[in-house]
Chain A
Amino acid sequence: MLKARDVTVRFGGVVAVGGMSIDVHAGEIVGLIGPNGAGKTTFINAVSGTYVPTQGTISWRDEDIVGHSPSRLARIGVGRTFQNVASLNDLTVLDVVKVGRSVHGHSRGLREFLCGSRADDEALTERLLEPLGLADHRHSPLQMLSYGHRKAVDIARALASEPDLLLLDEPVAGVAPAEAFALAGFVKQVRDLLGCAVVMVEHKMDVVMSTCDRVVVMAEGCKIFDGSGEAAQSDAEVRRVYLGD
């Protein structure tokens, strides 16, 4: 279980996240929404170890994780995707997914060195690439893929590490609506299968409403709402922030 209390991240004078608190339980998909610049990405970065919060506490399964590096967090089951996916030059889809899998800790270096990894490729393709529609692209370099496919690769990469806490930063932004629902559906399936906790930052409200069990709304660095999706849509404060009235 993730427990964040009073998390604050400052960049010089800018307070990107100011006093954010949240609880996420195993098996739960929480939608983290809010207007642009609300601090959602920064908060995800603080939880995943990219930034160290200036203030506040974050614990994962009762372990204090403030100051842990992303690689250390990956080993204890924290996985994430990126809002802006990198366009890597030479690595193929399978390569990236394998990097994702390797960060969980169990090294297969020597075995791969001696025996190669063909059997492995098939297992990964069937388990992750097939459902994400990437099977035909598994040997393509990332830079040859469309934006939507690169987003899917990033999700496959994060899932390959079999995370217990999955942080998704706008997983379906810039993806066509039909594919967006398919991606979100797959995230739900994975949750059902692994029972992991999911935090999903997303602007597409229809995807959020159909996927998330609970919605947390951020504005100007703090939480202004925490509850069901329906309640969020009728909440006066949330309407004010979104509609600006």
Chain B
Amino acid sequence: MSLRQIIILITVALAVMVVLPGLGRYGAYIVYVVAIASIGALALNLLIGYCGQISFCHGGLLGVGAYAAGNIGNAGQDMVVALVGAGIVTAFVSVMIGLPALRLRGLYFAISTLAAQFILEYLFRLIEPWTHGVSGLLIQPAPFFGLDLSNDRGYAAIAVGLLVMSLIAVSRLLRTDLGRRFILIRDSEIVARGMGVNVARTKLWAFAISGFLAGMSGGLLAFTSRIAAPEAFEIALSVDYVAMIIVGGLGSLPGAVIGAGFVVLLPEVAQRIGETFGAATQTAALREMVFGLLIILFLIHEPRGLNSLASRAVRRLRRTSGPLSNNKRSSASDLEMTQARL
């Protein structure tokens, strides 16, 4: 990410912060739900989209982060401590889940993550002192750097801030030796090994960093929903996250945010529509089917996701209208035109 993109990102974040007080509670809720999911999607995209390790236990990892943050917060710690602690615990669990990747490749590894997902779900019900079993762990509001931000707007500010920091950190990471190795391993593990890359160690770093981000995302989720319960972190959540990064764009940073927004908001919109037509239950049941269908359609027709669709549309608009109007359009109007086209 160039300096220009970082500045744009921070400007957008500040703009969100400024309009936050003007948003209603529902608006603030939407902002933080999307931002938290974006952090989780970013974590998964780092692992799948950049390092090529397909994982179906991301929902379970978010759960680990949620329980860890909840326990640390309930012990009277600051939310910052709880989130970092959740990141560290989840990074550790993620590395454990990643160990089979040293032996297994592709779909075989993906199946081992499926097993990990079910083991985690089982543990969430089993380890009652930490998880309170099926009834779930209630989580007390915690101060953030000593401030009381336990309301929708506060959460939105924290989540957007954390998302921006994560985006910048991951984009910088991708421009280090480690990040380049991730991409090399995704493109060809055999070539990477032949070139002298320590594939095993590189993969474990990918799991650790992805796990850290997933843990923070899960932790925030726990604080905002005030409860961590096993049914919230089931396989369906893992599938949702895979859908996010496929729809948004594998190996694309904006794609993680676009995908998260899409997958989180689509059910909201569907529910609204369902309510107006008095068929809320039917549309809710359609949800998973629609996501499954979307994954397949995107994999076949647009493997690089909405992000590449959007940038291609922008490029085409530039080209067709280029000779007619030489004046530079602002990127804001470009975006509007793209949306109009979509």
Chain A positions within 8 Å of B, measured between CB atoms, are: 48, 50, 69-71, 73-75, 79-80, 82, 86, 88-91, 95-96, 98-100, 102-103, 107-109, 112-114, 116-117, 157, 161
B173 and A99: CB pair below 8 A?
no
Closest to B169 in A: A113
Q: Is B146 an interface residue (CB 8 A)?
A: no
Q: A98-B177, A117-B175 are in contact. Are A157 and B195 (CB under 8 A)?
A: yes
- Interchain residue pairs A-B with the least CB separation, the first 7: A74-B196, A103-B196, A102-B177, A71-B198, A112-B176, A86-B191, A88-B187
Are A71 and B196 closer than 8 Å at their CB atoms? yes
| Contacting residues, chain B, for A86 (C-beta < 8 A) | 187-188, 191
Given contacts A99-B180, A117-B175, A89 and B194 within 8 Å (CB-CB)? no
- Among B175, B180, B188, B196, max chain A CB count under 10 A is at B196
A71 lies within 8 A of B197 (CB)? yes
Binding site for A on B (CB under 8 A): 172-173, 175-178, 180-181, 183-184, 187-188, 191-199, 251
Give A91's nearest chain B residue, CB to CB: B183
Sample (6) of A-B pairs whose CB atoms are under 8 Å apart: A50-B193, A69-B193, A95-B180, A103-B195, A107-B177, A112-B175
Contacting pair B183 A90 (CB below 8 A): yes
Tell me whether A80 and B194 are in contact (CB under 8 A). yes
CA distance A96 to B177 in the complex (A): 10
Cβ of B195 and Cβ of A113 under 8 Å apart? no
Nearest-neighbor residue (CB-CB) of B202 within chain A? A71
Give the Cβ gap from B174 to chain A, nearest Cβ, in Å. 10
How far in angstroms is the closest Cβ of chain B from A109? Answer: 5
The answer on a CB contact under 8 Å between A82 and B194 is yes
Number of A-B contacts (CB under 8 A): 76
CA distance A153 to B192 in the complex (A): 15
Q: Which residue of B lies closest to A163 (CB)?
A: B196
CB distance from B313 to the nearest CB of A (A): 21
Chain A residues whose CB sits within 8 angstroms of the CB of B194 once the complex forms = 48, 50, 70, 80, 82
B166 shortest CB reach to chain A, Å: 14
Which chain B residues border A102 with CB–CB below 8 Å? 177, 180-181
Give the complex CA separation of A71 and B196 in angstroms.
Answer: 4
Q: How far is the CA of A48 from the CA of B198 in the complex (A)?
A: 14
- Is B172 a contact of A113 with CB atoms below 8 Å? yes
> Chain A: which residue is nearest B172 at the CB level?
A113
Q: Which residues of B contact A50 (CB under 8 A)?
A: 193-194
Tell me if B176 and A88 are in contact (CB < 8 A): no
Structural contact, A113 and B176, CB atoms closer than 8 A? yes
Q: Kindly list chain B residues whose C-beta atoms are within 8 Å of the C-beta of A99.
A: 177, 180-181, 184, 192, 195, 197
A71 and chain B: residue at smallest CB distance: B198
A99 to B175, CA, bound (A): 11
Q: Determine the chain B residues whose CB is within 8 A of the CB of A112 once the complex forms.
A: 175-177
Shortest CB distance A171–B (Å): 15
A90-B175 in contact given A70-B196, A71-B197 (Cβ < 8 Å): no
Q: Is the CB of B195 within 8 A of A90?
A: no
The answer to whether B180 touches A91 (Cβ under 8 A) is yes
Q: Measured between C-beta atoms, what is the minimum distance from B195 to chain A in Å? A: 6
- A103 partner, pick from B176, B191, B197, beta carbons under 8 A: B197
A157, B196: Cα distance in complex, Å: 11
Interface contact B184-A100, CB-CB below 8 Å: no
Q: Is the CB of B196 within 8 A of A98?
A: no
**Chain B residues with Cβ under 8 A from A75's Cβ?**
196
Residue of B nearest to A157 (CB): B195
Closest to A48 in B: B194
Q: Kindly list chain B residues whose C-beta atoms are within 8 Å of the C-beta of A80.
A: 194
Chain A, residue nearest B173 (CB):
A113
A80 to B197, CA, bound (A): 12
Q: How far is the CA of A74 from the CA of B197 in the complex (A)?
A: 8
A70 to chain B, nearest CB (A): 5
- Contact A116-B188, Cβ < 8 Å, known A70-B194, A71-B198, A157-B195: no
By the criterion CB–CB under 8 Å, are B195 and A100 in contact? yes
Q: CA A90 – CA B173 in complex, angstroms?
A: 16
Chain A neighbourhood of B192, CB < 8 A? 99
A30 CB, nearest partner CB in chain B, Å: 21
Q: Give the shortest distance, in Å, between B284 (CB) and chain A (any CB).
A: 39
Measured between C-beta atoms, what is the minimum distance from B250 to chain A in Å?
A: 11
Q: Which residues of chain B come closer than 8 Å to A82, judged between CB atoms?
A: 191, 194
Establish whether residues B188 and A88, one from each chain, have CB atoms under 8 Å apart when the complex forms.
Answer: yes
- Enumerate chain B residues within 8 angstroms of A98, measured Cβ to Cβ: 177, 180
Pair A90/B197 contact, Cβ less than 8 Å:
no
What distance in Å separates the Cβ of A110 from its nearest Cβ neighbour in chain B?
A: 8
Most buried by B among A71, A88, A91, A116: A71
Query: Are B193 and A70 in contact (CB-based, < 8 A)?
Result: yes
B175 touches A70 (CB 8 A): no
Tell whether, in the assembled complex, residue A90 and residue B177 are in contact, meaning their CB atoms are under 8 Å apart.
no
Residue of A nearest to B178 (CB): A109
Given A109-B177, A113-B173: A88 in contact with B196 (beta carbons within 8 A): no
- With a cutoff of 8 Å between Cβ atoms, the chain B residues found around residue A108 in the complex are 176-177
CA gap between A48 and B196 in the complex, in Å: 9
Q: Which residues of B contact A100 (CB under 8 A)?
A: 195-196
